[in-house]
Amino acid sequence: MERSALTTESVPIPALRDVVQLIRPITWFPPMWAFMCGAVSSGVGLEGRWLFVLGGILLAGPLVCGTSQAVNDWFDRHVDAINEPDRPIPSGRIGGKWGLYIALIGTLLSAAVAFALGMWVFVAGLVGLALAWGYSAPPFRFKTSGWTGPAVVGFTYEGLSWFTGAAVMLGSLPAADVLMVIVLYSIGAHGIMTLNDFKAVEGDRETGLKSLPVTMGVTGAARYACAIMAVSQIAVVALLAMWEYTASALLVAGVLCAQLAAMPKLLRDPKQYAPWYNGVGVTLFVLGMLAAALGLGGYI
């Protein structure tokens, strides 16, 4: 009998270290950074809001993002048994249906914390959780498409997390200018997620995942990623300048110029240099997010 078919009673409770590996703390940074940008963009001080901010950071990182990792590993357990057999579920360290139970527990905890943080945070949390399940679970499996998969991840990691940070601080819907910048950075994040797919081109091709590097080729996908990241930031610069957030617009323009200077190296050999650009270009991209947030919040 397969280990996954055993009853929960006959399978030991997973060790904490294996649960932590399942929910991948390294993936929490992007949504937590976006949450911080959202809090800054609200222009509201931290006085009297510390518990809300800590709850929001917990929600964006360990809870919603961690839950999404558990969901992904559960529904990809058969593929991981081939590609990453040392992962907690295929290795048997998280046996039976404990991977699914951890994902369900994380979903409930996430919803409870989001509810405690206010109506708009609760709505954003539910949307994020629904997308987390839809990304990996049938019948949707958004991850199988190079268009919907990166869009879902970019929207949740950057857009919803930024929205949550602003909503936590304001206790209400963020202003229209903040929402417009959120949308633009979510669109730009599609390029970041496309670059992340370069590391698994062969595996995606073999398993039928239609990532953009598979369907467009690595060169075409790299050009697309560069273009969508650049265009979204150009639009942000234009809006910030129009709203007279001059210092913020100049900072975002500066980090964009640095990205444009780095892109030719990526395009020379996308597969080789995608990890390098993820370290350099993506770091500049998220620094631009903070610069935009500082302007929107009235700090610069």
**Average pLDDT over all residues of the chain:** 93
Q: What band does 79 get if pLDDT is binned at 50, 70 and 90?
A: confident
Q: What band does 82 get if pLDDT is binned at 50, 70 and 90?
A: confident
| Residue 111 vs residues 75, 105, 223: alpha-carbon distances, Å | 21, 10, 38
pLDDT at 58 over 70: yes
pLDDT at 71 over 70: yes
DSSP result, 16-30: HHHHHHHT-GGGSHH
pLDDT at 271 over 90: no
What's the pLDDT tens digit per position in 3-13? 444 444 578 89
pLDDT at 116 over 70: yes
* pLDDT > 90 in the chain, percent: 86
pLDDT at 215: 93
| Closest to 46 in 3D by CA, of 172, 167, 161, 169 | 169
pLDDT at 92 over 80: yes
CB 94, CB 14: distance < 8 Å: yes
pLDDT at 72 over 70: yes
Q: What band does 250 get if pLDDT is binned at 50, 70 and 90?
A: very high
pLDDT at 291: 98
Residue type (1 letter), 39: A
Question: CA-to-CA distance for 120 and 108, rounded, in angstroms?
Answer: 17
Q: What band does 2 get if pLDDT is binned at 50, 70 and 90?
A: very low
Q: What band does 78 get if pLDDT is binned at 50, 70 and 90?
A: confident
Domain ranges of the chain: 14-173, 175-300
| Closest to 198 in 3D by CA, of 218, 171, 178, 174 | 218
Question: CA-to-CA distance for 240 and 295, rounded, in angstroms?
Answer: 8
What's the pLDDT tens digit per position in 162-212? 999 999 999 999 999 999 999 999 999 999 999 988 877 877 777 777 889
pTM of the complete model: 0.92
Q: What band does 36 get if pLDDT is binned at 50, 70 and 90?
A: very high
**Domain 14-173, CATH number (from 1.25.40, 1.10.357, 1.10.3470, 1.20.1050):** 1.10.357
CB 193, CB 156: distance < 8 Å: no
* pLDDT > 70 in the chain, percent: 97
Q: What band does 248 get if pLDDT is binned at 50, 70 and 90?
A: very high
What's the pLDDT tens digit per position in 118-127? 999 999 999 9
Q: Is 139 helix (H, G, I), strand (E, B) or coil?
A: coil
